[in-house]
């Protein structure tokens, strides 16, 4: 295979071809990036990086519609949601510029002992080195911004391997970076084979790995890193929601509808498991199902489509297998529960699937929400925590003490109170623990992780 054929996940038509980079070409790009980092003469001053980021944001605004169009055609996220994604990506570039202006060191106190007298100590932040970013398909514009832009802003050359399903958006973003003034060797797309990417990960010239994808692949790649290299891994989870007896269910319903079925559930923090008191669980599940059944599902290019295709027909078959397993175990399918076509799966709500089924324990990554009946809040929290994933969770409660207590007890890196699990703004820290990953995403946190702290101690009698 000499190129990647990019297909529209809705109708499977060909929308583009991207040349496949050979292993030799990929390692040549790594050597160029490594040489840039090692030569002070090629470093780009902060003020120039700031100017480039400002131009990039302007260029992305100018080309926003084209960015949206290609993202929809190759990734299948509905048009309206892709418009929001591109807006977020533009804001992310601007936020990187703001973070760069704040990226600095700190004073380390001296003179606290006789031995430390006469010294001034402070730290500065320096780029770690070459960043290798391996990306995912589900946010094809914004994920590239979240991986490549912080690297450049922090002063690190970056190599980006896009998801094989969505390389066009990556190419679009990097071309705009180059047009804005980023030298091509500082931000290079690597549309290479998985085996080549794995060899790159193990190369000692890679200082930082940014990986978004499956847990199995992420932890495997981490094991291949050279000594001294660091990483940030984002693997997703099976996001839980606890509905307290005091919750405003009318307010919760549209939020959980959006959080569960946005991008056909192909989001790492999609609402998947809702735990509700047994007095209201079935009624709430039926209301959610009635709303889900009305979601416009189909061609993502239509501006009124709410739920588009899954990224690959094999995913439609897999999701249906999980739903059938939940049904066979005693779960009640209240809506959906069947493929609509080779590429579309109907928005589905399952009531009380068995705790041991995959839908109850693993990330479905499809348009399926499970609602569970629980005796009390303690049981809801225990069942929410009874998975190996630690990512974002949510609680709905009008009682503030209950909300805070639940937020404290939920095993999560982020808890949304009276909001869905998929809420995110680009300056907040974002990432998982356990099987969900390690390290912290978000524009500012990523820039911090892509730099390292150097201590400088100045000894001078004038400072005594």
Q: Do the beta carbons of residue 100 and residue 423 sit within 8 Å?
A: no
Tell me which of 99, 234, 315, 435 is the catalytic residue. 234
| Those residues with Cβ within 8 angstroms of residue 306's Cβ, 6 or more apart along the chain or in another chain | 78, 80, 261, 295, 296, 297
d(CA 386, CA 215): 18
CA angle, 264 then 423 then 88, to 5°? 85
Question: Which pair of tokens denotes residue 341?
Answer: 């076509």
CA angle, 187 then 81 then 448, to 5°? 40
DSSP annotation string for 114-136: GGGTTEEEEEEEEE-SEEEEE--
Is 192 catalytic? The answer is no
Is 170 catalytic? The answer is no
d(CA 67, CA 168): 9
Neighbours of 409 (CB within 10 A): 17
| Those residues with Cβ within 8 angstroms of residue 403's Cβ, 6 or more apart along the chain or in another chain | 244, 395, 397, 417, 418
| Those residues with Cβ within 8 angstroms of residue 272's Cβ, 6 or more apart along the chain or in another chain | 238, 239, 240, 260, 265, 359, 363, 364, 368, 369, 370
Tell me which of 156, 170, 268, 335 is the catalytic residue. 268
* Catalytic annotation, residues: 234, 268
């Amino acid at each position: 295979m000499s190129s990647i054929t990019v297909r529209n996940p809705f109708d499977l038509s060909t929308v583009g071809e991207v040349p496949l980079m050979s292993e030799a070409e990929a390692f040549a790009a790594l050597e160029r990036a490594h040489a840039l980092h090692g030569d002070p003469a090629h470093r780009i001053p902060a003020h120039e990086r700031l100017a480039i980021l400002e131009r990039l944001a302007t260029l992305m605004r100018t080309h926003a519609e084209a960015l949206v169009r290609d993202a929809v055609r190759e990734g299948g996220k509905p048009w309206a949601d892709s418009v929001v994604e591109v807006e977020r990506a533009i804001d992310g570039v601007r936020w990187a510029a703001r973070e760069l202006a704040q990226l600095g060191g700190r004073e380390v106190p001296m003179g606290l002992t006789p031995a430390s007298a006469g010294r001034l100590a402070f730290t500065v932040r320096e780029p770690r080195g070459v960043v290798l970013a391996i990306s995912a398909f589900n946010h094809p514009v914004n994920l590239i911004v979240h991986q490549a832009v912080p690297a450049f802003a922090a002063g690190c050359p970056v190599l980006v391997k896009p998801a094989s399903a969505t390389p066009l958006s990556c190419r679009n973003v990097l071309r705009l970076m180059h047009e804005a003034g980023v030298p091509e060797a500082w931000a290079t797309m690597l549309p290479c084979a998985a085996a080549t990417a794995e060899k790159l990960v193990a190369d000692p010239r890679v200082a930082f790995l940014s990986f978004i994808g499956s847990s199995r692949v992420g932890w495997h790649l981490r094991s291949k890193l050279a000594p001294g290299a660091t990483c940030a891994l984002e693997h997703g989870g099976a996001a839980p929601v606890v509905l307290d007896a005091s919750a405003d269910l009318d307010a919760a319903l549209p939020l959980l509808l959006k959080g569960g079925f946005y991008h056909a559930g192909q989001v790492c923090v999609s609402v998947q498991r809702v735990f509700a008191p047994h007095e209201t669980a079935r009624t709430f599940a039926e209301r959610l199902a009635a709303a889900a059944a009305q979601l416009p599902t189909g061609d993502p290019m239509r501006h009124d489509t709410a739920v588009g295709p899954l990224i690959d027909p094999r995913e439609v078959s897999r999701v249906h297998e999980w739903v059938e397993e939940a049904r066979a175990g005693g779960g009640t399918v209240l809506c959906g529960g069947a493929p609509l076509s080779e590429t579309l799966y109907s928005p589905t709500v399952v009531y009380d699937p068995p705790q041991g089924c995959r839908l109850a324990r693993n990330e479905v990554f499809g348009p399926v929400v499970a609602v569970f009946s629980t005796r009390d809040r303690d049981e809801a929290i225990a069942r929410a925590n009874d998975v190996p994933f630690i990512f974002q969770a949510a609680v709905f409660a009008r009682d503030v003490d209950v909300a805070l207590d639940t937020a404290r007890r939920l095993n999560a890196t982020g808890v949304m109170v009276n909001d869905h699990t998929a809420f995110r703004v680009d300056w907040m820290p974002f990432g998982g623990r356990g099987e969900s990953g390690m390290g912290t995403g978000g524009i500012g946190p990523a820039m911090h992780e892509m730099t390292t702290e150097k201590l400088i101690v100045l000894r001078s009698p004038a400072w005594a």
